[in-house]
Structure 1
């Protein structure tokens, strides 16, 4: 039986989540207050599916088949009315998310699971006082949501693992790798690890140790390749914990310990150098827009994003062919 899912928000993450679910056979109601955002989302989904099919990754339906399973609506109550699972992917603003929950609270099914794609708010903050708190989880996808397998799951204190199981099963059916946290912690798992690496990378850049390109190259041509097959703990096992004991004792006192964003990042932000979407950040993206690409990416940047996605698909195809479970190869 076809499952009906609601996705609230058609932006960067929402359209990817909607695509993922539709590809896997679900009926998806995609809500956004902006008709323009909905139109743009459908265009991106069509393009994304075309890339996947051209790479022959999995048994992906045609563009028309995927789009036919998605119903766009500017009405949040219509979106959630028949949904067994509701996934909120609104911008990362607490009051905006809470207002959206208030709008749908009376319209959701009594047994519906409600999930938020938040990357920073804990469940208690999001649904304080809401009647569906006992059916609420954080389901943190990673960009691009239709490709990256990881989804971090954080249960509301009133939500049991059993209650969340239909969502976890759905994610596995879609090819995702859900990781259920045993405790709430700011930033969850992946963003804490990414933040730690970024902090040290910026410190090395500011210290003049190497250029931005060389620092990135040191990751992509070294640890990054290993991390695609085994995480930091398994990598330590393979290297020898006695070795890492000595490395830790020697290096930990030398690592950056700042407790706020670096001046390098603040200076770039003040200068509106926000990365790909503005045309420049640590690196240059000459086809970007100086004021930020709020209405979709320029052609040149979109081409770069597509090439990144193709490489990611190919990497995952190789990874799935070679991995045997457990640690590294």
Structure 2
């Protein structure tokens, strides 16, 4: 079976922008047997991408990447127009700015057949705005991964006001075919869904630090040692459904909603003064305990890999 038949009709993917997110996407696509072309205008981009793919490869191999795939079997094109030639799907990862994307997307849109989806990895921009100037805005949408894309299954697909139903369906089918867990965001909102949820939680986490309720490390532990473990398995709605016992969500709402509503009323918005920002920085330094960003990422990704592997085993049963 070739890649086109097994991956929802997609054989070749063009990855436009080869930074942290783009290189991670490229590694993931490559590991699933796709032809991959990566484009990035930065000096030394090809070598930097090669290094990032090599760093991701052991994780992908451990999670079941095909043994016959060469991690160096991708192609680099500095020119994004040349990179999308012959592509069946485009994953765009340019800087998170409307002015950059509104210049880039029309260039690649102009040379692609109208049925080829252009998916942007944007973490918060609106799909209907980034496609301004395109001949076929109906094929442009958001395909926002959760970092790092080669490891985390979630992809948020946002069609917005202009993307066609066919383009949305093609994107979802493709992501699902390569092992992702795509969700459709049915209405455009800044930040989509996952980042808005993260932002809401972080706002309260900072507020608790500001008010002296707990330290940065203890606020983090309140999540990582508690609900965060459950959230690796189910989201807030299903979690609270179980919290209702035999009566499920009906019972939870009947008996616990008044308490939750009182907590909502007491949530705060921190005043992000320079002093508070420095408290957060100092608190993180203390929590990190001298570990570098690279060390923390390797520790995080190693444990995430084990969690994902356990989930895959459970699903297989």
TM score, norm. by length of structure 1? 0.83
Question: Which residue does 2:100 correspond to in 1?
Answer: 96
CA offsets per residue over residues 150-197 of structure 1, 9 Å max, x none? 000001423222233232222112211000112112211111110110
Conservation of the 8 A alpha-carbon contact between 2:23 and 2:53 = yes
Aligned equivalents of 1:159, 1:98: Cα separation in 2: 16
Counterpart Cα distance in 1 of 2:275 and 2:139: 38
Residues 6-57 of structure 1 show CA distances to partners (whole Å, capped at 9, x for unaligned) of 111000110011111111111111000024122111111112112443xx32
Alpha-carbon shift at residue 60 of structure 1 (Å): 4.0
Partner of 1:242: 254
Structure 1 residues 59 and 115: CA distance shift in structure 2, 3 A:
closer
2:277 pairs, out of 260, 267, 289, with 267
Shift of 1:307: 2.0
Q: Distance in 2 between matches of 1:263 and 1:320?
A: 44
Contact 1:153-1:178 at 8 Å conserved across structures:
yes
Secondary structure at 1:143 match in 2:
coil
Which residue of the other structure, out of 30, 45, 70, is the alignment partner of 2:38? 30
1:158 aligns with 2:179: no
Measured against aligned partners, the alpha-carbon deviations of 1:228-274 in whole angstroms (never above 9, x if no partner) come to: 1111111111112223312223211111146xx733697349x9x69
* 1:137 aligned residue (128, 137, 141): 141
- Give unmatched runs, 5+ long, in structure 1: 288-299
CA 1:46/1:95 → structure 2, altered by over 3 Å: closer, same or farther? same
Distance 1:162 1:274 in 2: 49
Q: Which of residues 61, 70, 83 is equivalent to 1:65? A: 70
**If the length of structure 2 is used for normalisation, what is the TM-score?**
0.86
Which structure has more helix as a fraction of its residues? 2
Contact 1:236–1:244, Cα closer than 8 Å, also in 2: no
Match for residue 311 of structure 2 among 298, 308, 319: 319
In structure 2, C-alpha distance between the alignment counterparts of 1:274 and 1:75, rounded to whole Å = 43
Determine the structure 2 residue equivalent to 1:223. Answer: 227
Q: How many residues align?
A: 301
8 Å CA contact 1:268, 1:281 repeated in 2: no
Query: Once the 2 structures are TM-superposed, how far is the Cα of residue 139 of structure 1 from its aligned partner?
Result: 0.5
Counterpart of 2:56 (choices 48, 70, 89) is 48
Superposed CA RMSD in Å reads 2.6
Distance of aligned partners of 1:101 and 1:43 in 2 relative to their CA distance in 1, 3 Å threshold: same
Q: Which runs of 4+ in 1 moved over 6 A?
A: none
Partner of 2:24: 16
